[in-house]
Structure 1
Amino acid sequence: MENKGFTNRLAQKFFKKPKISYIHIEGMGSFIFGCIDGKKSVYEIGQMVHDHFGEEAEPLYERLSVYMKSLEKNEFVKLVK
């Protein structure tokens, strides 16, 4: 992920922050990210997560909504209604 914008440029110059950050996604997050194709709903992705991870994914939709909001906030995805 490229760190753009005025504040990021200041941080790069004065605090030696990197121009590019690498994001590591583990297990369930990686699976969810791979399911996102612009066509599936959050509900459909949740069903896929449940089929793949079973009870380990619970509380599924609470976790999924937090994860999706985080992806949107960091501009990795755009949620549409």
Structure 2
Amino acid sequence: MKEKEKVNLFDVIPYISEHVTTEKEGDLSTIAFPRFRNKFMQKYFVPKGKSAKLHVKLEEHGTAVWNLIDGKRTVMEITELLADHFDHEENYQYRITTYISQLYSNGFIKYKTVQ
């Protein structure tokens, strides 16, 4: 089995997963994704009266990061663009990379490497 190649998170380009949509509520964003990806499960297992999608409301900082995830910018570029938004606070880069890693872990975004 081939060992996974280690990649620096700052060098990857995050992009939004195909099953995730974004809804705007004023200045904030909400991430919407299906309760089930399988069509059969969507049809028979979504409780009556409930939405077929789950929603995650993002706060101000989360929305700022989310809005910059476009499939073109690297994580480093995103952190540089958000320096002023976070008032250059100590460890703001760590906060952003942790947040992006969490979005990836939850399947909201995917990564591609810079070619």
**C-alpha distance 20-60 of structure 1, shift in aligned 2 (>3 A):** same
The Cα RMSD (Å) is 2.3
User: How far apart in 1 are the matches of 2:101 and 2:79?
Assistant: 14
Q: Aligned partners of 1:63 and 1:20: how far apart in 2?
A: 28
Quote the offset at 1:26 in angstroms. Answer: 0.2
Q: Which residue in the other structure is 2:65 paired with?
A: 32
Q: TM-score with structure 2 length normalisation?
A: 0.54
Deviation at residue 52 of structure 1 after TM alignment: 2.4
Structure 1 residue aligned with 2:84: 51
Structure 1 segments, 4+ long, off by >3 Å, are: none
Please say which of residues 71-80 and 23-32 is displaced more in the overlay. 71-80
Aligned residues: 75
Shift of 1:12: 5.8
Structure 2: gaps (5+ residues): 1-32
- 1: distance between equivalents of 2:56 and 2:71? 21
Partner of 1:70: 102
**Greater share of helix residues, 1 or 2?**
1
* Aligned counterpart, 1:2: 34
Query: What SS does the corresponding residue of 2:99 show, helix, strand or coil?
Result: helix
Say which structure, 1 or 2, has more relative contact order (CA 8 Å, 6+ apart).
2
Greater mean deviation of Cα atoms: 65-74 or 23-32: 65-74
- Provide the rounded CA distance (Å) in 2 between the counterparts of 1:29 and 1:61: 13
Q: AA paired with 2:65?
A: I
